[in-house]
Amino acid sequence: MCGALLSSMCRARPPCGHACVAAACLLLPGVSPPGGKCTASTVTVCADTFTGLKQLQQLDLQDNDIVTIPAGTFTGLTQLQRLSLSSNDIVTIPAGTFTGLTQLQQLDLHGNDIVTIPAGAFTGLTQLQVLYLSDNAIVTIPAGTFTGLTQLQQLDLHSNDIVTIPAGTFTGLTQLQQLDLHSNAIVTIPNGAFTGLTQLQRLYLHSNDIVTIPAGTFTGLTQLQQLYLHYNAIVTIPAGAFTGLTQLQQLDLHYNDIVTIPAGTFTGLTQLQQLYLHSNAIVTIPAGTFTGLTQLQQLDLQDNDIVTIPAGTFTGLTQLQQLYLHYNDIVTIPAGTFTGLTQLHTLLPAMTSSPYPPAPSQGSRSCRCCTCRTMPSSPYPPAPSQGSRSCSSCTCPQPSPALLPPQRHTTPAELHWPHILHPLGVHCRC
Q: What are 73-107's pLDDT values in tens digits?
A: 998 999 999 999 999 999 989 888 999 999 999 99
361 against 421, higher pLDDT: 361
Q: How confident is the model at residue 357 (pLDDT cuts 50, 70, 90)?
A: low
Domain boundaries, the chain: 1-49, 361-430
Given a contact cutoff of 8 angstroms between Cβ atoms, the answer to whether 120 and 96 are in contact is: yes
If you ran DSSP here, which 8-state letter would residue 410 be given?
S
User: In terms of Cα–Cα distance, which of 350, 331, 291 is closest to 315?
Assistant: 291
Model confidence at 218, pLDDT cuts 50, 70, 90, reads very high
CA 133 to each of CA 110, 116, 155, 429: distance values in angstroms, whole numbers, following the listed order = 5, 11, 8, 19
Of 303, 324, 331, the residue nearest 399 (C-alpha):
303
> How far is the CA of 36 from the CAs of 10, 60, 125, 184, 413, in angstroms?
14, 21, 37, 42, 53
Nearest to 114 by CA among 348, 421, 388, 394: 388
Residue 57 — very low, low, confident or very high, per pLDDT cuts 50/70/90? Answer: very high
Residue type present at position 85: L
Tens of pLDDT, residue by residue over 22-49, are 433 343 333 334 443 344 444 567 777 8
**Per-residue confidence (pLDDT) for residue 142, from 0 to 100:** 87
Of the ranges 55-59, 222-226, 232-236, 396-400, which one carries the lowest mean pLDDT score? 396-400
Identify each DSSP E strand in 170-310 by its residue range: 178-180, 202-204, 226-228, 250-252, 274-276, 298-300
Whole-number Å distance between alpha carbons of 146 and 253: 29
8 Cβ partners below 8 Å, 6+ apart?
none
